[in-house]
Structure 1
Amino acid sequence: MVRQTHGLAPREDFISAMRRVAASVTVVTSDGPAGRAGATVSAFSSVSADPPTVLVCLAAQSRIAGVVQENGRFCVNVLPEGFSDIADRFAGRHDAIVPDRFDGIEMFAPRGSAPVIDGATAFQCGLQQVIRSGSHLILLGHVHSVLDGAAPPLAYREGAYHRVVPHAHAG
């Protein structure tokens, strides 16, 4: 059902439609003078290849948004299939049981960089620009290094994790 409006789409319609959009599951991490933080994020996209630039969207009032801005760097970890437990951990679903989201997660952090989750495809970024839009911040980062995990990504749609299944080409 399409509702015509002369202003903004109704919030409920927007949320319902966005739930149907599949997205790679990512964990944004940061480490530096403001400390270490990480959060599961679905709003991630490439912006440009010249220079290599990506964007992530973070809730403006979240701890991770403040930490990334103060540290001036972040890493986007695109999680591979089978990492739904890590996605849940960094989404805060286990905070009552495991207060340190990084505890027991295999990762490494090159000197002066944000943590990379072992097995993920990772984009190490320097924070380039922050744009406020509604309740969120759009963070643009220049990509300084890439680690291609080469594994199929974990996807999220309709409130559940999914596998990306290649479509067989005809002919």
Structure 2
Amino acid sequence: MFRDATKLVPRDSFIDAMRRVASSVTVVTTDGPAGRLGATVSAFSSVSADPPTILICLFAESRIAKAVLENKDFCVNVLSEEDSDIADRFAGRHDALVEDRFSGIDCYGAPGTPPQIDGATAFRCVQQQTILSGSHLIILGHVRHVLAGAARPLTYRDGSYHRVLPKADRFLSAAT
């Protein structure tokens, strides 16, 4: 196990390199005894197909991390390329204007279950394991329900949103 923090790269070098990595833009939602909350999150990954398991990373002191821990379930909504406004909303960019981040957002799910955002690819999960690593909480969830969205995903890289284009589309758009 690696324990010598003096041999780690400088924080700024790590952040600079990570900014160059594209990631899907997701909104993690939860609902239950701790309330209905949602937040934009970029750290999401598949872990296993047997059993179906995903992970998310949340700032350990955040409201969403505390709510997911208490509610015991969550939904990862992978946003479509048209949903940058939803990503901004759940990132808190409109909190001064909108009291409830879910206001005006089409969601599915019974009260007390994590909301699924319309048009998103959704993975509804039950919390399986948590790991505290540095400032973040890694939450592994067993996937109980999926909803495969049809639209291309929204991605984030180097401080801005991007669209994913299949290689053939990229060459066609360059020719026109």
Match of 1:48 in 2: 48
Equivalents in 2 of 1:25, 1:8: separation in Å? Answer: 28
Q: Please report the TM-score for the alignment, with normalisation by the length of structure 1.
A: 0.93
Aligned to 1:102: 102
The corresponding residue for 2:137 is 137
- C-alpha deviation, 1:9, in angstroms: 0.7
User: TM-score scaled by structure 2?
Assistant: 0.91
Instruction: Report the Cα distance in structure 2 between the residues aligned to 1:110 and 1:37, rounded to whole angstroms.
Output: 14
Q: Does 1:9 align with 2:6?
A: no
Contact map agreement 1:113 1:124 (CA 8 A) in 2: no
Q: Which moved more, 1:39-48 or 1:94-103?
A: 94-103
Q: Alpha-carbon deviations, 1:90-113, whole Å to 9, x = none?
A: 000110111211111111114652
Quick one: percent identity of the two aligned structures? 70
Q: Is this contact kept in 1: 2:31–2:111, CA < 8 A? A: no
Aligned-partner SS, 2:7: coil
> 1:71-150 residue pairs with structure 2 within 5 A?
71-110=71-110, 113-150=113-150
**Separation in 2 of the partners of 1:52 and 1:146?**
10
Instruction: Show structure 1 runs of 5+ residues with no match.
Output: none
Asked if residue 151 in structure 1 is aligned to residue 151 in structure 2, the reply is: yes
Superposed structure 1 runs of 4+ greater than 4 Å apart: none
Q: Which moved more, 1:94-103 or 1:46-55?
A: 94-103
The runs of 5 or more residues in structure 2 that have no matched partner are 170-176
Output one character per residue of 1:37-78: Cα deviation in whole Å (capped at 9) or x when no partner: 100000000000000000000000000000000000000000
Q: How big is each residue's C-alpha offset from its partner over 1:127-163, in whole Å with a ceiling of 9 and x where there is no partner?
A: 0011000000000000001000121000000000000
Equivalence for 2:62: 62
Equivalent residue for 2:173?
none
- Considering fraction of residues, name the structure with more helix: 2
Match of 1:70, SS state, is helix
Q: State the distance in 1 between where 2:158 and 2:109 align.
A: 33
1:22-33 equivalences in 2 (<5 Å): 22-33=22-33
Which residue in the other structure is 1:19 paired with? Answer: 19
Instruction: Name the Cα RMSD after superposition.
Output: 1.5
* Equivalenced residues, count: 165
